[in-house]
């Protein structure tokens, strides 16, 4: 047994209110490889919260059996600030009420600090452990005051000492998919396959946005791009979009937890062989570039009706949905929404009353989409 619990206090946002993060750790950090997982950074995305409870239960059993060779850290809820943001009932957990910032943006990335170190070092040969120490030192220097700033810094510091970092999200209504750096295409594809995700979206190193997983990939990616470590020696981080916001069940969560353990086993964090669930069948993974991801917008206000479901193939020019105008000149008047890519529908809206400019769907295609620019490939909605 090698379990410990960390309680990390965050600055109180108001007199009488306390906030904290919790981390559950299993194994021995000096022994083998390590993995970090958290969920709910977007606090209105709840499938991952249940997945991690199943995962913790399974890790406890593996720990008792002596089957954790490496080190695992689980943060079961990454955003207590967002989880407490209710607006007349529903949780509004994607953006910070304090300043409108997307909770999964503007993390401090490590490219510049690591590139400067490489440029100044006479000998760039460092072990993975020494690189981790450099990353951790860089993050420790971040000045943070507000509860959200401190929360983001502490999440990044907890994660950065691990080889594998997995950030569990979901989208509105979607098939499982994985976001990861182009330098880790192979492992991203393997992770997607193990998770039963039919799609992996591969980000260029200059995707922009400052998402949580980019803290890890910016550090390791800079080292890897300089030719100082191979793809396998580098750390690996990914964002896993588990499914849609409404897809929360014990059945799905138990299966997802087992699949995550299979990935950790494959990465050498666990010694145990984790069997595939009887009802689980991995299919092929389609890999698309992030700049080929098209956010198709609704043209008018009304009720959206879809002709395609997440996972369906789409062709350029094909009608994927219609918006039914409620205030048109004729009854049941519709405005068509066309695909602008040859590829797959990944995401569609859960709530069907839409406004002009709202995302109708996320489609993935092979070719770069017009108006998608490096440096701002991650949108904020
Ligand atoms: Zn999210």
pLDDT, tens digit, 9 for 90 and up, residues 202-211: 999 888 899 9
**Residue 78 CB neighbours (<10 A):** 30
The Cα–Cα gap between 256 and 37 comes to 13
Q: How far apart are CA 5 and CA 331, in angstroms?
A: 60
End-to-end CA distance of the chain: 43
Separation CA 349–CA 148 (nearest Å): 28
Cα–Cα distance, 75 to 166 (Å, whole number):
11
265 contacts 322 by C-beta, under 8 angstroms? no
Q: What is the DSSP string of 155-218?
A: HHHHHHTSSEEEEEEEESEE--EEEEEGGGHHHHHHHHHHHT-SEEEEEPTT--S--HHHHHHH
User: Token pair of 154, please?
Assistant: 């502490």
Q: How far is the CA of 124 from the centre of ligand 1 (A)?
A: 36
Between the CA of 288 and the centroid of ligand 1 the distance, in Å, is: 19
% of the chain with per-residue pLDDT over 90: 87
Task: Please report the DSSP string for 250-308 in residue order.
Answer: HHHHHHHHHHHHHHHHHTTSBSSPPPPPTT------EEEEGGGEEEEEPSSSEEEEESS
Give the model confidence (pLDDT) of 55-65 as tens digits: 999 999 999 99
Q: What angle do CA 100, 103, 108 make, to 5 degrees?
A: 110
Calpha distance 81→150 (Å, rounded): 11
Q: Which residue, 166, 173, 245, 254, is CA-closest to 213?
A: 166
CA of 51 relative to ligand 1 center, distance in Å = 15
Interior angle at CA 110, CA 257 and CA 26, nearest 5:
30
**3-class secondary-structure state, position 124:** coil
Q: What are phi and psi of 120, to 5 degrees?
A: -85, -25
Alpha-carbon distance 52 to 44, whole Å? 16
> Distance between CA 157 and CA 41 in Å, rounded?
15
User: pLDDT tens-digit profile of 274-313?
Assistant: 888 777 777 899 999 999 999 999 999 999 999 999 999 9
Confirm if 80 and 10 have CB atoms less than 8 A apart: yes
Measured CA distances, 201 to 192, 193, 204, 272, 379 (Å) = 10, 13, 10, 30, 14
104 C-alpha to ligand 1 centroid (Å) = 7
Ligand 1 center to 103 CA (angstroms) = 9
Segment 20-42, tens digit of pLDDT: 999 999 998 887 799 999 999 99
| pLDDT score recorded for residue 121 | 83
- The pLDDT of residue 75 is 98
343 C-alpha to center of ligand 1: Å?
A: 23
Give distance in angstroms: CA of 135 to centre of ligand 1.
Answer: 24
Query: What's the CA gap between 116 and 120, in Å, rounded?
Result: 6
pLDDT bracket for residue 380 (50, 70, 90): low
What is the token pair recorded at 256?
A: 């997802």
The alpha carbon of 171 and the centre of ligand 1 are apart by a number of angstroms equal to 6
Q: How far is the CA of 365 from the centre of ligand 1 (A)?
A: 21
Span from the CA of 64 to the centroid of ligand 1 (angstroms): 33
- Ligand 1 centroid to Cα of residue 287, in Å, is 20
Q: Which two tokens stand for residue 169?
A: 């999200």
* Cβ neighbour number for residue 21 with a 10 Å cutoff: 21
Q: Does 381 have pLDDT greater than 70?
A: no
Distance between CA atoms of residues 165 and 216, nearest Å = 7
- Cα(190) to centroid(ligand 1), Å: 21
Question: Rounded to the nearest whole angstrom, what is the distance from the C-alpha of residue 125 to the centroid of ligand 1?
Answer: 36
Closest CA to 74 of 3, 131, 18: 3
Give the model's confidence band at 123: pLDDT under 50 very low, under 70 low, under 90 confident, else very high: low
Q: How far apart are CA 55 and CA 183, in angstroms?
A: 28
Distance CA 274, CA 171 (A): 27
CA of 169 to the centre of ligand 1 (A): 4
Q: For the chain, which domains are there? A: 3-284 (3.40.630.10), 291-365 (2.40.50.100)
Provide the pLDDT for residue 57: 98
Cα of 170 vs centre of ligand 1, distance in Å, is 6
Structure tokens at 235: 């750390």
Q: For residue range 137-188, what is the model confidence (pLDDT) as tens digits? A: 999 999 999 999 999 999 999 999 999 999 999 999 999 999 999 999 999 9
Cα(41) to ligand 1 centroid in Å equals: 7
Cα of 238 vs centre of ligand 1, distance in Å, is 12
Distance between Cα 39 and ligand 1 center (Å):
9
Q: How far is the CA of 227 from the centre of ligand 1 (A)?
A: 32
Ligand 1 ion local residues (Cβ < 5 A): 42, 45, 169
């Amino acid at each position: 047994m090698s379990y410990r619990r960390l309680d990390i206090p965050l600055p109180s946002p108001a007199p009488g209110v306390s906030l904290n993060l919790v981390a559950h750790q299993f194994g021995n950090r000096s022994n083998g490889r390590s993995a970090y997982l958290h969920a709910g950074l977007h606090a209105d995305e709840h499938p991952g919260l249940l997945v991690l409870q199943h995962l913790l239960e399974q890790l406890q059993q593996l720990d008792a059996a002596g089957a954790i060779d490496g080190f695992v850290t689980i943060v079961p809820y990454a955003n207590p600030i967002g989880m407490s943001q209710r607006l007349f009932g529903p949780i509004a957990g994607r953006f910070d009420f304090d300043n409108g910032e997307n909770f999964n943006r503007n993390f401090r990335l490590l490219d510049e600090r690591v590139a400067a170190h490489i440029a100044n070092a006479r000998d760039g040969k460092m072990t993975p452990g020494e690189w981790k120490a450099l990353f951790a030192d860089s993050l420790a220097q971040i000045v943070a005051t507000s509860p959200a700033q401190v929360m983001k810094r502490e999440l990044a510091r907890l994660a950065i000492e691990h080889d594998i970092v997995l950030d569990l999200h979901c989208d509105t209504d979607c098939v499982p998919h994985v976001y990861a750096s182009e330098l880790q295409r192979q492992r991203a594809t393997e992770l997607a396959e193990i998770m039963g995700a039919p799609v992996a979206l591969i980000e260029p190193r200059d995707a922009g946005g400052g998402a949580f997983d980019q803290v890890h990939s910016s550090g390791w990616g800079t080292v890897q791009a300089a030719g100082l470590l191979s793809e396998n020696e580098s750390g690996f981080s990914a964002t896993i979009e588990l499914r849609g916001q409404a897809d929360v069940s014990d059945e799905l969560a138990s299966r997802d937890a087992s699949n995550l353990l299979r990935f950790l086993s494959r990465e050498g964090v666990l010694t145990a062989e984790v069997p595939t669930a009887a009802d689980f069948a991995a299919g092929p993974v389609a890999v698309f570039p992030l700049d080929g991801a098209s956010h198709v917008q609704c043209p008018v206000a009304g009720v959206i009706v879809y002709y395609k479901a997440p996972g369906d193939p789409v062709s350029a020019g094909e009608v994927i949905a219609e918006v039914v105008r409620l205030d048109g000149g004729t009854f049941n008047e519709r405005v068509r929404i066309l695909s602008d890519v040859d590829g797959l529908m990944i995401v569609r809206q859960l709530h069907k009353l839409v406004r002009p400019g709202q995302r109708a769907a996320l489609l993935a295609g092979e070719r770069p989409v017009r108006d998608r620019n490096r440096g701002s490939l991650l949108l904020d909605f």
